[in-house]
Structure 1
Amino acid sequence: MGNVSRRLSRPFKNYNIENRAHREIAKDKPKVAPSYKMKQTQINLVNELEPDYKVTSQTKNIELDNNLKKIYVKSYDNSVPDNNRSEDPERNLPKERLRPELSEFGFYESQEVVKGKISLRQAIQMIDKHSKDPIIYNSEYLAKEYYLEKKLVDYKLHIKL
């Protein structure tokens, strides 16, 4: 519905658009808002002290530039380790820099599972038990073992994987 209304309203939006644009361009520009009195007093003070300040601040001062080229700064920061330092045996750093192996399913598995919920590993074990012996491992038995509702276990076991 939005596309239809947009297509219908477009000609009305674009009607006489060129003339409206020329009219907007031809208008006088708005006046600049007046500055605060304090700003004007600061400008007057700078003009009294140094009349050529605006010109000198925008030009490059060659003498200052040469002085900056002569300066060389070397920083000494103790928090950054130096490459020449020997290893400190008391420092707790990892000895192996390999990534930890992923679990069997490829992501982090929680060790603690809340009652009423099961992990992926438990779900696979539950389906495996039921597929090996559906008489012993029926939905009532599995619901008690994993603290689940019986109707939820019935639903999960009857889904074809």
Structure 2
Amino acid sequence: MGAAVVRAIKNFNLENRAAREISKAKPSAAPRHPSTRSLLREQMSDQADIKREIVTKDDKLLSLLRDVYVNSRDPVSSAQDKAAITPTEPKEFRLPKGNHFDINIENIPKGKVSIVEALTLLSNHKLYPDTWTAEKIAEEYHLEQKDVNSVLKYFTIFEVKIFPSEDKKAIQSK
């Protein structure tokens, strides 16, 4: 709703404002320094033939320009080509593992895990590394073995450890 109002205000009296801007006097070139006037006149008189060449029209170039015809079309993107050529394969899904009470997940693509499942498998592996091996996790969650090994190697769950200070005496509560 707000965009429509802004667009209407921006486009109000647009043609008249554009015509007014176009009809304004064009800015003139900056004034030249008095000391360079004589140098400029001198250069222009020495190279009068170049100035004449700049001003005159070249008929050969004009005829070549008239022969040019440009026909353009929007290119077809490669993504559209691939989508048109290959039909989409149906994805395989699996049911989520564990307790997903707070999230409305009905199914998960095979080869992927949800955040809750990732945290669960990391904590299970950390607590029980003998039972929750990389092979068992890959089989349980339908993942590739190399991906599971990488996840277990590079990711850990956050753990808070509080060490009691040995040099200070603990304050006894009354």
Using structure 2 for the length normalisation, give the TM-score: 0.29
Using structure 1 for the length normalisation, give the TM-score: 0.31
